[in-house]
Amino acid sequence: MRTAIVDLGTNTFNLLVCERGNGRLHIIHSEEVPVYLGRGGIERQMIAPDAIERGLAALAQYAAQARELGAERLLGFGTSALRNARNSGDFVEAARRRTGIDITVIPGDEEAGLILDGVRQAVPFTSRPALVMDIGGGSIEFILATDQALMWKQSFELGSTRLRERLPVSDPMTVDEEARIAAHIDHALEPLYAVIERHEPHVLVGSAGSFDSLAAMLMADEGREGVDPHAVHMGFSALAFDALKDRLLRMPRAQRLLVPGLLAHRVDTILHAMVAIERVLLAGGIRELVWSRYSLKEGAAWRLLNA
């Protein structure tokens, strides 16, 4: 059965139309649109009226596309912005009436599990523990896993949009502001750091938005025109990440808008995301990174198609 999945993120809504083919996930269509569902309300636990309208318009567009592509099921998964908003039920009901998409608002623990299911479709795991990191606008999910087992998972309300609203920065960001963000992240991630110290993951696997931009920027640094559209994972070194981070964090916004591979809707949140990645790498002494094209929506699709 051809299925459409919508990941309703805090910054972007992501559409996946897929089916099962030869025991694998066969992607028909995948795209994302910036919606900024959390803008102006995420720290007040509300979806602002203008964000509701942007979200409903995006869902209507996705529903029409999915049906044109033959999707028989349309399912949505709401994440951090919706699970924390007091008016999320109103949005979910309005979406069902206007678009026919049934939305389930999932807890952070379930979000982490779906992310791992998606990443496993793209990245080879080994017997050594790998740490998965998925940076959303509202939350960051971490999962520790091997090729045989899920060892640990937790969601932290530390997404890039949430951090940006809590800890606004100058243009360009100052060294003191970077240090303040780092200290805030370190305090919140103490449970993760304890897990890292105990299990010593050898690689950081990054999925979704900020890591998509990171992969594209690193490819541009190597003189390539973006990430291979057929690639589902890509490895790179912490050294390459460090060099890119050091450049980005000192750039004014106008200059970041010109960086090849950095999408305009991530220009304002990429700084906080880069600081978060750096803190995790330093905490674990991790020097190897892998980007995964697949994340939550692929994990949700895999579960549904194999139920």
**Is the predicted pLDDT of residue 172 greater than 80, yes or no?**
yes
pLDDT attached to residue 222:
86
* Residues in Cβ contact with 168 at an 8 Å cutoff, skipping those fewer than 6 apart: none
- The string of pLDDT tens digits covering residues 103-158 is 999 999 999 999 999 999 999 999 999 999 999 999 999 999 999 999 999 999 99
**Sign of CA pseudo-dihedral 44, 50, 51, 55:** positive
Tokens of 299: 């994990």
pLDDT at site 223: 84
Question: pLDDT tens digits, residue range 189-233?
Answer: 999 999 999 999 999 999 988 999 999 999 998 888 778 888 999
Cβ-contact 113, 57 below 8 angstroms:
no
Q: Which domains does the chain have, with CATH numbers?
A: 3-106 (3.30.420.40), 109-296 (3.30.420.150)
Share of the chain above pLDDT 70, in %: 100
The whole-number pLDDT of residue 53 equals 97
